[in-house]
Amino acid sequence: MDPTIVGLIAFAAVIVLLALRAPIAFTLATVATVGAFVLFAFRTGTFMPERAIRATTSMVYSNSFDLIHSYDLSMIPLFIALGHIAYKAGITTRIYYAARVWLSRLPGGVAMASVMGCGGFSAITGSSIACASTMGRICTPEMLRMGYDPRLATASVAAGGTLGSLIPPSVLFIIYGIFTETSVSRLFMAGVLPGLLSLAGFLLVIFIWVKRDPSAAPMMTETISLSDRFMALLNSWPAILLFGIIIGGIYGGIFTATEAAAVCLSSAVLIGFAQRTLNLRDILDALKETAVQTSAIFFIAAGAKIFVAFVALTRVAPMVTELVTDAQLSVAMLMAVIALVYLVLGMFLDPIGIMVLTLPLMIPLVESYNLDLIWFGVVIVKLLEIGLITPPVGLNVFVIANVVGKEAPIGTIFAGIMRFLSVDFIVLLLIMIFPAISLLLPNAM
């Protein structure tokens, strides 16, 4: 049987199963295992299943075993645990309160503070979904209580939550780095400037929105003294310290990304105990949540690794590369096609599922054009970030909808999201046209 046909059927099966909401890990592993079994069984031209059992089992075992024992993968539970510990200790939420105090007199100041809080939360946790869920419970009800337009109150947090994909540490960057064998530390650095650019763009959207429609964000009436402002800023020092350890340590070559995660986690625990905002019960709860999330990600990564090994047995990746080469597409046209593929998939699938499904095809294609894989990783993560708030399946939007309930239906949130999406597309174009935005920091390491 032609390996290319088996590979194409496998890709179609995965897309259909993921669209039907089948678990990502089991979909990838099952389709890859069945596909590999078929290829090995027909290796001699006739169907001989007894010869396929050992080869298929060896492929599944060796790839999953090698992945789980990967050193880089160990940073995922460390960063996830850091996020939970920092939240339990109140470190992440202090960024929001400090921003709220300092931005209170600006048009849409609380919405801006929510986006700033999301950016700070993302700089510690690295999870967009966790950021949207946590900050949505803190910020959105307060803005609705103050009389903010529900579209602004919900969309600002949903969009701000996507910053966790770009601002390091990012789980998506870790997975991308492992599967493309690129430096996770350099990927983290590459995401800093695009992440800050997205953050600035979101703040600008809020400012223009409220300037044009002052009723969307009533001004705060409470008076906040200068001493209270500085006190709120001082109280946020743990978050600044942790972010400084991650960025400064990696950029300065003091830590690897994994070591930075371990140092930050230890620091967060010590700070929580020293400030008496953390106890053993909080740590146990954080570790339980970390175990659940880490297990889910590891299962997905293992399934993806098996699927990548299966794709290598087929000629699908070389076939796609040959088709694009024969078409003689320019780099601009190639990136436009890739962006379109990711944007369409982002409307229906979750980011990790899209990444592990497409990387086996995209990476050989990008390498054939001699494009920088670090820069391409930032482009991919930005596209996946856009997918988190793109209808009809914007995961961050559904998270916020579950938080606020009937006060802001999904249609209302999507109506507000469109303004933030316009900024996302502008930032995406800037990253594509000017690779230096992504490569400036990693090249200076």
Q: What is the pLDDT of residue 126?
A: 65
Q: What is the mean pLDDT of the chain?
A: 84
Both tokens of 346, joined, read: 């982002």
SS (H, E, C) 227-257: HHHHHHHHHCHHHHHHHHHHHHHHHCCCCCH
Radius of gyration of the chain (CA): 23
Report how far residue 81's alpha carbon sits from residue 169's, in angstroms, rounded to the nearest whole number. 12
Report how far residue 348's alpha carbon sits from residue 360's, in angstroms, rounded to the nearest whole number. 20
Amino acid identity of residue 310, one-letter, is F
Give the length of the chain: 445
Both tokens of 126, joined, read: 């690295």
Q: Which residue has the tokens 């070559």?
A: 253
Question: Does the pLDDT of residue 202 top 90, yes or no?
Answer: yes
80-123: pLDDT as tens digits: 888 888 888 888 778 778 887 887 778 888 888 888 888 777 76
Report how far residue 295's alpha carbon sits from residue 25's, in angstroms, rounded to the nearest whole number. 11
Report how far residue 363's alpha carbon sits from residue 376's, in angstroms, rounded to the nearest whole number. 9
Question: Does the pLDDT of residue 72 top 80, yes or no?
Answer: no
Using a 10 angstrom Cβ sphere, with 0-12 exposed, 13-18 middle and 19 or more buried, the burial of residue 405 is exposed
333-381: pLDDT as tens digits: 888 888 888 888 877 777 877 888 888 888 888 888 888 999 999 999 9
Q: Read off the pLDDT band of 222 (50, 70, 90).
A: low
List Cα–Cα distances, 197 to 190, 268, 382, 402, 430, in angstroms: 12, 27, 12, 29, 10
The values of phi and psi at residue 44, to 5°, are -95, 5
Q: What is the pLDDT of residue 96?
A: 79
Q: What is the pLDDT of residue 28?
A: 87
In the predicted model, what is the mean pLDDT of residues 191-199?
Answer: 91
Report how far residue 204's alpha carbon sits from residue 422's, in angstroms, rounded to the nearest whole number. 12
- Residues 103 and 370: beta-carbon distance below 8 Å: no
Report how far residue 57's alpha carbon sits from residue 306's, in angstroms, rounded to the nearest whole number. 11
- Residues 141 and 404: beta-carbon distance below 8 Å: yes
Report how far residue 123's alpha carbon sits from residue 117's, in angstroms, rounded to the nearest whole number. 10
Amino acid identity of residue 146, one-letter, is M
Report how far residue 111's alpha carbon sits from residue 109's, in angstroms, rounded to the nearest whole number. 5
Amino acid identity of residue 368, one-letter, is S
317: helix, strand or coil: helix
Report how far residue 92's alpha carbon sits from residue 78's, in angstroms, rounded to the nearest whole number. 16
Highest-pLDDT range among 99-103, 125-129, 199-203, 349-353: 199-203
Q: What is the pLDDT of residue 411?
A: 84
Using a 10 angstrom Cβ sphere, with 0-12 exposed, 13-18 middle and 19 or more buried, the burial of residue 431 is buried
Q: Which ranges of 236-350 does DSSP label H, i.e. alpha helix?
A: 237-251, 257-274, 280-313, 316-327, 331-346
Question: Does the pLDDT of residue 434 top 90, yes or no?
Answer: yes
Closest listed residue to residue 91, CA positions, set 285, 274, 292, 290? 274
Report how far residue 265's alpha carbon sits from residue 357's, in angstroms, rounded to the nearest whole number. 31
Report how far residue 414's alpha carbon sits from residue 155's, in angstroms, rounded to the nearest whole number. 7
Q: What is the DSSP letter of 69?
A: T
Q: Which residue has the tokens 């050992």?
A: 54
Q: Which residue has the tokens 């780099």?
A: 331
319-353: b (≥16 Cβ within 10 Å) or e: ebbeebeeeebeeeebbeebbeebbebbeebbbbb
In the predicted model, what is the mean pLDDT of residues 18-47?
Answer: 84
> Of all residues in the chain, what percent carry a pLDDT higher than 70?
97
252-289: pLDDT as tens digits: 778 888 888 888 889 989 999 998 888 889 899 989 98
Show me where the domains of the chain are located: 72-293
- Exposure on the CB side of residue 337, measured as CA atoms within 13 A: 12
Q: Which helix (H) or strand (E) holds 112?
A: helix 109-125
In the predicted model, what is the mean pLDDT of residues 131-137?
Answer: 77
